[in-house]
Amino acid sequence: MEVRARLGIFLCDCGKSLNNIDFSKVKERAEKFQDVVYVGLSSCLCLKEGLEEMLSVVRQERINRVVIAACSPELKENVFRKALEEAGLNYNCLSIANIREQCSWAHEADVTDKALELIRMAANKARLLQPVERKDTPVNTEVLVVGGGFSGMKSALELSELGLRVTLMEREPVLGGKLGEFEGFYGFETTPKEILSSVREAIEGNKNIGVLTSAEIIRVEGEAGNFTVSIRRGEEKVSRSFGAIIFATGYTTEILPQDFELKPDVNIISQRKLVEMLEAPAGLEQRPGTIGFVLDVSDENSRLPFLSTLNNALAVKEKLGSEVYVFCKNLKVDSEGMERLYREARERGVVFLKFEEKPRISKEDGRVKVEARDVLRGEEVVLLCDFLVAEEKVLPPEGTQTLSSMLNIGTDSRGFYQDENVYLYPVASERRGVFFVGGCRGDSDLARASTDISSAVTSFIRLLSPRDVMVEVKPQKCRACLTCIRVCPHSAVKLVRVETGEEVAKISGVACDRCGICTAICPAKAIRFEGYADEQILAEIEAIGESL
């Protein structure tokens, strides 16, 4: 049965500072609004004293819907809601009129009438607010981590430390990823290989982490808290449930990219080849006297090529003692520690040359000739080197597009996950419960990957806390037209069979991000968004009309 609304209106003049509102007039007029049983004025509603007074009035007057006319809701809404719950009211029975930022402060002249109208809008809406039930949707706490490189393994370890079960999936037969391809991090005591083997060991000894190698995702269904993932391992296909999925699928490099117009050669080589040489210098016929690096021709966005160049240049100096020249357009040293690496390289005698126009590269007497105009010196430079290390372009790994369309998640212009959407940045995606960490978000280094992992883990923990269902499909009105399923940006709606046997749309409380796009678009008006329901928005509009 509908309980008749008993409205209490609590005005706050913010320490008597809202001088262009005549609160006595507001109080007098607001008392005449429909269903209002109390109007009071405070100067510090958000402080202990003000809150306590409000609570006692709410209890005394048996107020069941509260209107607060004060500062902007995002400032103190949670304080007020909590207080109301103490008084035994559902937190959703509160409507706030923003009479400070959007009224008193926004206008110079007397705005008593406007304030009154804002309060009437809030009161109209308050009358229609429904108590919200907190539903504890069961959430699967096991996490699937896709990609067994550094980022993937680290994510698995961090989650397992919190006592969570993790399945770590890798496409290749062994864990490891790209980390082993680095020669070393200059100035670090441990080598990448050592880091890798220690992480791998930790994974292997961990009871909470299950490892699936040579495994690939073929389908992802469901939503945050309850994903069903179909995985193929050779001939075998398995279907498993997870609460969240962390993608750490990494990146790939195109050695000697197309736009570089170079062909691999005995002495035009990739960074990886150079690393192999550095690992076994004894295998070289003779020590190379000069080694050149060319950078920044095909891709200005990536940091990784700069990082490997600086590291490898220093390693060449140390292990081979060759002369090292680095040709580049712009040197990016914005990652942690890179400035130091750069300085050290210069101190050790690595020569950096800045070009504007692409260097011309040719062969001469079995050596590689690089001709470029050094814009800083303003002169043509000709270098003959024994080896030329060419830039590698950082690209999304194979299968990224397939995964992206399977997940219904977009990629950025370079094809990496998590484009620069400010709200989702850095690791979230438009699908709640799906996160991206490390190299698959564009190029990354260990520091950035580690930050990513922490944010993803924190976000997942937040996902586990119970959420209120605010957006719901009324099954009897649903025509199963699938519109909401098609438009939901978070893939939070699916078709389910209800008891009557009919199929209707159902919104997952966990996956829903509460945008109301489905509510607005439903042609049968079958979706209700508590707090922003049609009748509630229309009631606010009605209040504007009433004074006309």
Helix, coil or strand: residue 341: helix
Q: Which is nearer to other proteins, 21 or 262 (CB)?
A: 21
Cα–Cα dist 522/197, whole Å = 54
Cα–Cα dist 156/165, whole Å = 9
- The least distance separating other proteins from the CB of residue 113, rounded to whole angstroms, comes to 7
- The least distance separating other proteins from the CB of residue 107, rounded to whole angstroms, comes to 4
- The least distance separating other proteins from the CB of residue 542, rounded to whole angstroms, comes to 6
- The least distance separating other proteins from the CB of residue 134, rounded to whole angstroms, comes to 19
DSSP lists the bridge partners of residue 97 as 69
Helix, coil or strand: residue 467: strand
Q: Which is nearer to other proteins, 102 or 228 (CB)?
A: 102
Q: Produce one character per residue of 213-238: b if its CB has 16 or more CB atoms within 10 Å, e if not.
A: eebbbeebebbbbbbebebeeeeeee
Q: Which is nearer to other proteins, 100 or 127 (CB)?
A: 100
Residue 12: its H or E element: strand 7-12
Q: Which is nearer to other proteins, 336 or 535 (CB)?
A: 535
Measured in whole angstroms, the distance separating CA 318 from the mean position of its chain's CA atoms is 40
User: What is the chain's percent helix, strand, coil content, to nearest 5?
Assistant: 30, 25, 40
Phi, then psi, of 327 in degrees rounded to 5: -95, 125
Q: Which is nearer to other proteins, 24 or 547 (CB)?
A: 547
* Positive or negative torsion for Cα 457, 458, 462, 465: positive
CA atoms within 13 A on the CB side of 497: 2
- The least distance separating other proteins from the CB of residue 481, rounded to whole angstroms, comes to 4
- The least distance separating other proteins from the CB of residue 452, rounded to whole angstroms, comes to 20
DSSP secondary structure of 63-97: --EEEEEES-HHHHHHHHHHHHHHTT--TTSEEEE
HEC-encoded secondary structure of 354-407: ECCCCCEEEEECCEEEEEEEECCCCEEEEEEECEEEECEEEECCCCHHHHHHHH
- The least distance separating other proteins from the CB of residue 18, rounded to whole angstroms, comes to 11
Cα–Cα dist 154/50, whole Å = 49
Q: Which is nearer to other proteins, 107 or 343 (CB)?
A: 107
Q: Is 205 buried (19+), middle (13-18) or exposed (0-12) by CB count in 10 A?
A: exposed
Closest CA to 288 of 304, 266, 264, 256: 266
Q: Which is nearer to other proteins, 266 or 548 (CB)?
A: 548
- Beta strands per DSSP E along 60-214: 65-70, 94-98, 134-135, 143-146, 166-169, 209-212
Q: Which is nearer to other proteins, 303 or 432 (CB)?
A: 432
Q: Which is nearer to other proteins, 294 or 409 (CB)?
A: 409
- The least distance separating other proteins from the CB of residue 218, rounded to whole angstroms, comes to 22
Q: Which is nearer to other proteins, 170 or 530 (CB)?
A: 530
Closest CA to 107 of 117, 122, 95: 117
- The least distance separating other proteins from the CB of residue 520, rounded to whole angstroms, comes to 4
Which residues make up the interface to other proteins (CB under 8 A)?
72-74, 98, 100-109, 111, 113-114, 117-118, 121, 410, 421-424, 430, 477, 479, 481-483, 486-487, 489-490, 513-517, 519-525, 529, 532, 534, 537-538, 540-542, 544-545, 547-548
- The least distance separating other proteins from the CB of residue 547, rounded to whole angstroms, comes to 8
Please state, in angstroms and as integers, the Cα–Cα distance from residue 107 to each residue in 69, 99, 321, 423, following that order.
Answer: 17, 11, 72, 31
- The least distance separating other proteins from the CB of residue 185, rounded to whole angstroms, comes to 36
Cα–Cα dist 83/81, whole Å = 5
In this structure, are residues 282 and 471 in contact, taking their beta carbons and an 8 Å threshold?
no
Tokens at 282, concatenated: 């004894």
Q: Which is nearer to other proteins, 261 or 546 (CB)?
A: 546
- The least distance separating other proteins from the CB of residue 482, rounded to whole angstroms, comes to 7
Q: Which is nearer to other proteins, 415 or 489 (CB)?
A: 489
